Structure 1
Amino acid sequence: MALLTVAVCAVLAGATSFAAIVDWLYDLDETDQRRLGFTRGVPAGTTMWRLLTRLDAALLSAVLAGWLRSRTPPAPARPRRYRTVI
């Protein structure tokens, strides 16, 4: 779970590659690394690459979208012509 958290946070911070995600993780100070669950140091970059290449992108997108929807208050009723945007 910590690796997925790192990937999401790094992408939100502007990372656009596997290397940038790993660099983001290595740039964190030890306190922040521990807060994310890395108590024995951070994994190698290849570990992040293996995880991210094996993820089902559609499933991850659905899970993250569902989580975001659960975190936002219900929107007031609108006419049908508007779409819900997160």
Structure 2
Amino acid sequence: MAKPNKKGPTRTVDIFCSKCKNQLFKYRKGGKGALVKCFKERIVEDYTHTACLCPNCGQEFARDTLVRGTPALKMIGGKVTFK
């Protein structure tokens, strides 16, 4: 399978915890669909202290995984929102 584009999209979105509305990431997202996974190389700014845990409320919002051989965070449904 093909790897994700290195440069990635130029549009950035802010990703928030759905429970406490704390900002988690600034991410270069491609397309207009739902946020299912975040490739680690596309994260512009990371506001979390521990991977996959919200720094404010401690809720687990994603799981660490490999997608097409590239490190990524697989989002748990309903745990994050983005604008």
TM range (shorter): under 0.3
**TM-score for both structures, normalised by structure 1:** 0.25
Q: Which has the larger radius of gyration?
A: 1
Q: Of the two structures, which has the highest relative contact order with CA contacts closer than 8 Å and spacing of 6 or more? A: 2
Give the number of the structure whose residues are more often strand, by fraction: 2
Compute the TM-score of the two structures, normalised by the length of structure 2: 0.25
